Chain A
Amino acid sequence: MYIAHHQVPAGDTAQPKVWLENVSKQYGSVTALQPSDLKVRSGEFLTILGPSGSGKSTVLNLIAGMTNPTAGRVWIDGRDCTNVPPSKRGLGMVFQNYALMPHMSVFENVAFPLRVRRVTEAEIKRRVGEALELVRLPSVAGRKPAELSGGQQQRISIARCLVYNPAIILMDEPLGALDKKLREEMQLELKRLHVELKVTALYVTHDQEEALTMSDRIVLFNGGRIEQAGTPHELYFRPRTLFSAKFLGDSNVLSGKLQGRAQDGLVETPVGLLRSSNGNEHVGDGASVHLMVRPENVLLLPPDNKHEYANGLEAMVVDTISFGGVIKTFARLSDGSTMTVQELTRARRQAFDRGARVRLAWQAEDMLLLPAA
């Protein structure tokens, strides 16, 4: 998995493109969004990630102006837009089902926001041409949307946003309707456009891989509130909660009780004493905790191996599955629970048969301490 490494373009001091100031949303007695504070920095690619019903679509609708917040204020480009209708917010939006006008040609679709703005005919011609050039579809201007493939239609809807330089481009699961290969292509395409044009983008998805690949920052939502916000690197390697750890990437989770002081990271578990060198400010001395280690950080060793790793557990191989580039081994621990080990495929890799006794080992720095519940 590729995890984006980017310098966040502007610090917290610069004026945010979008600021949801303590915004919340109630639908009758149902809370769609608990009071949340969220800033989109100028020029960044921010992803709102979460399962369905986590509040991510509510955030998008609040920014777009499709719904009004129950409390709080919505700022766009330093302007209080809480009560401004969608058409006056200066936004762009890319929809999952493209939302192209079926009765208009591709050219007229892309020209639509310019015609609304009463741009001259010559200028429209030039800018539509440029926008189609940007999404690498300069030759389809005369066609109807229905004559294009899904991926091409989505490129047109992106061109339709780029053509009028909106303050921010909102993207609502834009790749959700495309097949896997096309989705991966489009991820890189979107990333390229973002880097080239330095537009501010807010991307909504439930797909953690998409989020990790494209984002400068990810805001993870769960149950109508922000679970954790940070760079893809932070969310992947330093999840603060069990939910974050499980939502992004694969994870092995064990439960136990802290021994001694929290900062020592010694945890008594049903399978033995484990050690983590990562503290967690939300965990107190003697607390019940979860421990998490990524499958790719666990080594598969012969049972008699004298290793130097802080953590080592006896286990029995249950199954081995090859995914081409990687191999996953599932091993049963002494308490009956299963751990997953992920290794890169190598021809000379030591193979273990089903039922073989092995030793699982990993470093204290790869073991994360997470608060229980």
Chain B
Amino acid sequence: MDKERDVEALGGSAPSPLVATAAWLGFVYLLLPSLIIIPMSFGDTREIVFPPATYTLDLYREYFTNPTWTGSTIQSIRIAVIATLAGLALGTSAAYGIVRGSFRGKVLLGALLLSPFFVPAVVKALGFYIYFAALGIQGTTLSVVLGHTLFVTPYVMIVMMAALRNVDAQIEAAGMIMGASRIYVFRKVTLPMLRNALIAAGLFAFLMSFDEMIIAFFLSGFGTATLPVKMYESIVHEVSPVLSAISALLTFLALVICLAVTALSGRSGRQPSH
């Protein structure tokens, strides 16, 4: 959707000063807890205080050199990348079937596939814990990957279903009438048209898996803990000031990904140029 149409949809006029003020206040309220982390992350390694007595890069140095943090960060990235790729494959296929298919029970199946979205994370985590323990893989990286794949798939599905509804089905029909199989059309026509949505959904899924704590806490073992799990353990045991540096970095990552997704969805109505 382009900017002009957005403005039209809102009635075509700029918001009043009152509305703008309210919006900014809401924004500050949401952002303040994250922002307070940033000055603190430049404090020293002794304790968490606000405002910091001295400004240093010690906490960042500590984070990037301590194998506990770097190891769990690499573990988190690894799990997030695999879960994202698997979630994209599953979520996109499911979205294609639900949006383009015409079969009995389509609505029910769609609801069923989206249902993990509505189940509380603790419930999912407990379910995985019992199930994977029975399979004997609880505590392994694989179990966290599987758990996170199921966790991100509904989100991917929601993004991809919306994107697919914006792809003119007649363009796909045209491809098939010209002799192409459904799979050929999906690969050469549908997927390229979904490119921006795929990137957005992928970034989203990555961030969700990377940040996810509850499922990872239940499923990871001693050697397989992810960054958020290590952070949680650190809070429980010692409240290390390094946490503020990590939090600042995570906030920055989330910000970058949100901006990227916004930029991509702002262009989704137009054709990707390459």
Contact = CB atoms under 8 A, between A and B. Distances in A.
* Most chain B CB neighbours (cut-off 10 Å) among A65, A93, A100, A103: A103
B194 to A, nearest CB: 10
B68 interface: no
Given A99-B168, A101-B189, A146-B271, A164 B173 contact: no
A64 B178 CA distance: 11
A116 B195 CA distance: 22
25 contacts: A65-B177, A85-B176, A86-B176, A87-B179, A88-B179, A91-B177, A93-B177, A95-B170, A99-B168, A100-B171, A101-B189, A101-B192, A103-B192, A103-B193, A103-B274, A104-B192, A113-B178, A113-B179, A113-B180, A117-B179, A144-B271, A157-B174, A164-B178, A164-B179, A170-B177
Interface string B174-190: 11111111101000110
A97 B272 contact: no
A112 B272 contact: no
Contacts of A99: 168, 170-171, 173-174
B174 A102 contact: no
Interface string A79-109: 0000001111111110101011111100000
Interface in B148-207: 168, 170-171, 173-182, 184, 188-189, 192-193, 195
Nearest 5 pairs of A and B residues by beta carbon:
A99-B174, A113-B178, A102-B271, A103-B192, A116-B180
Contacts of A160: 178
B168 A97 contact: yes
B101 to A, nearest CB: 15
Counting chain B CB atoms within 10 Å of each CB, which of A65, A91, A92, A112 scores highest?
A112
A169 B106 CA distance: 34
Interface size bracket, B side = 20 to 34
Interface of A: 64-66, 85-93, 95, 97, 99-104, 112-113, 116-117, 144, 146, 157, 160, 164, 170
Given A101-B189, A103-B272, A146-B271, A95 B179 contact: no
B65 interface: no
A22 B180 CA distance: 29
Interface of B: 168, 170-171, 173-182, 184, 188-189, 192-193, 195, 270-274
A103 B176 CA distance: 17
A93 B179 contact: no
B152 to A, nearest CB: 26
B177 A103 contact: no
A117 B180 CA distance: 8
Nearest to B182: A87
B178 A92 contact: yes
A116 B171 contact: no
Contact of B178 (A85, A104, A112, A146): A112
Nearest to A163: B178
Contacts of B180: 87, 112-113, 116
Contact of B179 (A66, A90, A101, A144): A90
A282 B170 CA distance: 43
Given A95-B170, A116-B184, A102 B177 contact: no
Contacts of A170: 177
A102 B179 contact: no
Given A112-B180, A116-B180, 17 more contacts: A86-B177, A87-B177, A87-B181, A87-B182, A91-B177, A95-B174, A97-B168, A97-B170, A101-B189, A101-B193, A102-B193, A102-B271, A103-B271, A103-B272, A104-B192, A112-B188, A116-B179
Contacts of A97: 168, 170
Nearest to A146: B271
A69 to B, nearest CB: 17
Contacts of B188: 112
Contacts of B192: 101, 103-104
Contact of B175 (A85, A90, A91, A101): A101
A117 B177 CA distance: 13
Contacts of A157: 174
